[in-house]
A and B are shown apart, each in its own frame.
Chain A
Amino acid sequence: MPKQGVVPDELTAPFWTAANEQRLVIQHCTNCNRLQHPPAVQCARCAEGKLEWQEMSGLGHIYSYAVVHDGPVRMLKEGQPFNVAIITLDDDPNIQMLSHLPGTPSGEVPVKAAVQVVFEDSANGQKIPEWKVIE
């Protein structure tokens, strides 16, 4: 199920560049010593400080999920139903990412299971972080 392509913009370019190098990076405020995702132009807590991109371990857990049967994105309709899970990062469980959980049948999601990041090609070749259940 190929996802839409991604055209990196100024704010998110480091995230997408790292993904193409099979690395997961997340914004980190050096003032608060705090991660934040999705990326923003300033720290959501202190509204100042320097934001740098910090490499993550690539490990996480499944928080919860839904199964999309009727979604709005044209390119994904053919693959319905599919899982959309919230992944919490082991580096900081407050930080979430989304995942289709490739390899996990829809509706058969092992909630709270450990997952590991993988990188998939999107429609325009940009690599996108995805998450697979660790057997």
Chain B
Amino acid sequence: MKVFDEAPEDIFRSEESLGVWEHRGKVAAVGIGHAPTMRRWDNDPETCVGAISICALRQAMADAGVDPGQVDGLIIDPVTATGAGWPKDKPIPQDMLARWQATDDPLDGLTKNSIAWLLKNMPELTGIQFAMNASGCMSKALVAAVQAVGDGETHTCLVLKAWHNFEGRYYQGGDNENDSLPGTAALTALTNLWGAPACSATAIQFNEYCHKYGKSHAMMAPFMENSRRNGLLFPEGYWAQHRPEELTVQDYLAARWIAEPANLFDNDLPIMCSGAYLLTTAERAIHLAQTPVYILNHASSRAVPRSIMPTLEEVEVETARTGRKIYEGAGIIVEDLSFENMYDGFSLFHQFHLEGLGFRGVGQGEALDFYQTDISIHGPNPVSPSGGNIGSGRSRFWMHTDSIQQIQKRAGARQITGVPSEIGVSGGPMPMGGNFTVWGVAPD
């Protein structure tokens, strides 16, 4: 078995002027799998992050109508949280050890995933010949898998991302609880002396955006309302499953600040969740159980900020560059997009992605005005039809699931109706530093 501890950087299309992607239309997504979501882990071994990962993988295979023995590729993001660690002195629960086949790392399946742990606990995956970690988020793992299938490294490939969430609040504890910081950590953006929460960089960029273009935080309200509305139509998502509550403009505007101008709802809700897709070649896909959705391109952003955090200007340059890469490699123009499903976890940067794409002709500084028009799934300009993380909880994959379902015409009540669902784009996470996939109803 060929195993990559981490996806090599040269498989990502992060430069401009690479031309049309060499595997355009030759790779397809067919199956989708998700485990039920939870707000936090209930300490049951049957719902640990490893267990829900297995659930999603099995669902993706069943959805595609693929026998597990036919799967020859497994690509995962092994990281399953950004801010919820397992206390160093807390023992691994005995019932976890009894229920699952352990690896050398006792945290596998509990606070992270590993290929070894999954293969030990999924004995039905007898044909894996290619395995790879692609750390960061589903967007990266998905792009790595798409390229691997295109390159012929694997012909039937599962791709996985899962999240755990424990009791307590993100980022409380560790250095943030201490009386002092190491000198280097004291000067970095998130763990720093100035006490800025995770959303602060985006909040600062958004503040500058409002300052530069004469916009306001209140103008985000229609986007937030739309995202929750779409999320409540997403049966796989957290809010639809557990808290079917609309988010009104009044709710949004009255929410408490976290780092003003980012309020509570501008931050996505950490949850337990898992998502898996089954990818295969276009030739094989037409024989499987679901309609193939063809990958027309993938693109990546690898820009890094010049100093502590990206400025608005750096973000705008990079998102425009990402937009150009997306279109060039897919051989499409912006008018070909039926919908956009760019990342939103923080909501206050979705407009950077959207403006970078130039979706529906929206230029820099214009997205918040665009949000005041019909951006619903039934209008001519469907913005984030998945509802994203804001609509369904933190996963960083709802936008991919929705893009596949929209083009397969099985998005249910969330199906866009104002325009034909033919080509879409999804990806993220950050405006500077992300991975993006272009989906099409046809291979050419």
Contact = CB atoms under 8 A, between A and B. Distances in A.
A97 B196 CA distance: 13
Given A68-B200, A73-B195, A63 B180 contact: no
A47 interface: no
Interface string B165-191: 000011110001111111110111000
B85 to A, nearest CB: 13
Contact of B180 (A5, A76, A95, A98): A5
Contact of B311 (A63, A70, A72): A63
Contact of B205 (A6, A8, A64): A64
Nearest to B192: A98
A107 interface: yes
Given A72-B195, A96-B309, A111-B211, A6 B204 contact: no
Given A67-B260, A70-B257, A86-B309, A123 B180 contact: yes
Given A4-B181, A84-B200, A99-B194, A69 B208 contact: no
Interface in A105-130: 107, 111, 122-124, 128
B259 interface: yes
Given A86-B204, A86-B308, A8 B195 contact: no
Q: How many A residues are at the interface, by size bracket?
A: 35 or more
Contacts of A122: 180, 193
A7 B259 contact: no
A12 B188 CA distance: 11
A9 B256 CA distance: 38
A75 B179 contact: yes
Interface in B184-220: 184, 186-188, 192-197, 200, 203-205, 207-208, 211
Contact of B176 (A5, A16, A73, A100): A73
Contact of A38 (B184, B205, B211, B256): B184
A68 B259 CA distance: 4
A64 B169 CA distance: 27
Given A66-B204, A96-B307, A84 B195 contact: yes
A32 B250 CA distance: 52
A98 B194 contact: yes
B197 A70 contact: yes
Contacts of A111: 207-208, 211
Contacts of A12: 183-184, 186-187
B304 A44 contact: yes
Interface string A66-90: 1111111111100001101010000
Contact of A71 (B180, B196, B256, B261): B196
Contacts of A75: 179, 195
B258 interface: yes
Question: Taking each of A5, A70, A95, which has the highest tally of chain B beta carbons within 10 Å of its own beta carbon?
Answer: A70
15 contacts: A6-B183, A8-B183, A9-B182, A63-B311, A66-B204, A67-B260, A68-B195, A68-B260, A70-B258, A70-B259, A72-B172, A81-B260, A86-B311, A95-B306, A98-B194
Interface of A: 3-9, 11-13, 15-16, 36-39, 44, 63-76, 81-82, 84, 86, 94-100, 107, 111, 122-124, 128
Given A74-B177, A111-B208, 13 more contacts: A6-B182, A9-B182, A12-B183, A15-B187, A44-B304, A68-B196, A69-B259, A71-B196, A72-B195, A76-B195, A94-B306, A123-B179, A123-B180
